Structure 1
């Protein structure tokens, strides 16, 4: 489903006329729908590590600047050395200072801002960082980004979740009862997250 399709299906449910176009139009209802779709999509994207949003980055040196679309490290062993061993992540800056001061054969990594640091630094070359991209919109032709820009944009997560998220947000914004729709959205979101992980 495209952004336009999702919004028109929601329009049917909330008793609005269908739209010929929603992105870039002056229609206040269309503008509201697009804004709410952005809000819903961003939330859905943040709440799971969707497989279609997982990506990798090849490391060349330490420190390594993370890609512009980096949102967070993938769950589990997110940083692998070229030989297949996993780097042990160190979150605490003080612990990192101790680790880099001691020669070690054990590979460690530390995320500081938008840079990934490695110890020993020689292990950085050829390492792979697995991460969740902040991009959840698929535009044409296959441009991944984190915002809608056209009526025919789609999402990298199940589009019908966008529809469910849009329905309760529209009702809430209009002062209507939305609690049942929100509960339905939450249940469906959990089900889709589990299906995406292969656990349902």
Structure 2
């Protein structure tokens, strides 16, 4: 399913004529649909750790810059040494200042200034950083990104969620009842999250 086919499915439900092309169209409904698709996709991508958005990066330096597509770390044990030991996360600068001032066998990491800092610093090189990518759009043939840019863009999460996300937003924007559509979206989102995790 592409951006165009997803939006045309919504058009069928809300009694709009289908579009031959959606991206870059001057039609106000087309522009609204693209904006709603972007909003829906951003939300869907943020609300789960979709398998296709899970990434790993091997640290080549210490500190290591965060990848361009970095959204957030995966929960629990997101950073581990080359030997497999987990780094403990540090969440504020004051704690980090104390940790780097004390020699410790326990490895720690801290994210600051779009970098992953390691303590002891020498253990950082070769460490593995597991994270969730913010690039949920697949551009053909250019690869992933986080912005819808063409009619044939696809998603890296279950695409039917995009249709349902656009639909309830469209109805809300037009002042129509949308509670049932929102509830259906939420139920389907939960089902797809569980299926993606192998828990369905």
TM-score of Structure 1 vs Structure 2, range by shorter chain? over 0.9
The aligned residue for residue 61 of structure 2 is: 61
Q: Distance in 1 between matches of 2:102 and 2:60?
A: 22
Q: Distance in 1 between matches of 2:151 and 2:56?
A: 29
Note if 1:48 corresponds to 2:56: no
Q: Distance in 2 between matches of 1:104 and 1:79?
A: 17
Note if 1:182 corresponds to 2:182: yes
Q: Distance in 2 between matches of 1:142 and 1:156?
A: 14
Q: Distance in 1 between matches of 2:93 and 2:193?
A: 33
Q: Distance in 2 between matches of 1:198 and 1:150?
A: 31
Q: Distance in 1 between matches of 2:68 and 2:54?
A: 14
Contact 1:61/1:121 (<8 A) preserved: no
Correspondence 1:109-188 to 2 at 5 A? 109-141=109-141, 143-188=143-188
The number of residues matched between the two structures is: 200
Q: Distance in 2 between matches of 1:83 and 1:38?
A: 40
**Post-superposition offset of 1:142:** 5.2
Cα deviation code 1:129-171 (max 9, x no counterpart): 0100111000101510001110000001000000001110111
CA RMSD of aligned residues (A): 0.9
2:188 is paired with a residue whose SS is: helix
**Post-superposition offset of 1:186:** 0.6
4+ residue segments displaced more than 3 Å: none
Note if 1:73 corresponds to 2:73: yes
Q: Distance in 2 between matches of 1:173 and 1:96?
A: 46
The aligned residue for residue 95 of structure 2 is: 95
Q: Distance in 2 between matches of 1:70 and 1:172?
A: 31
Q: Distance in 1 between matches of 2:175 and 2:113?
A: 41
Q: Distance in 1 between matches of 2:156 and 2:193?
A: 13
2:160 is paired with a residue whose SS is: helix
1:21 is paired with a residue whose SS is: coil
Q: Distance in 2 between matches of 1:61 and 1:151?
A: 39
Q: Distance in 1 between matches of 2:83 and 2:43?
A: 36
The aligned residue for residue 5 of structure 1 is: 5
1:150 is paired with a residue whose SS is: coil
TM-score by length of 2: 0.98
**Post-superposition offset of 1:93:** 1.6
Q: Which stretch of the first structure deviates more once superposed, 13-22 or 110-119?
A: 110-119
The aligned residue for residue 31 of structure 1 is: 31
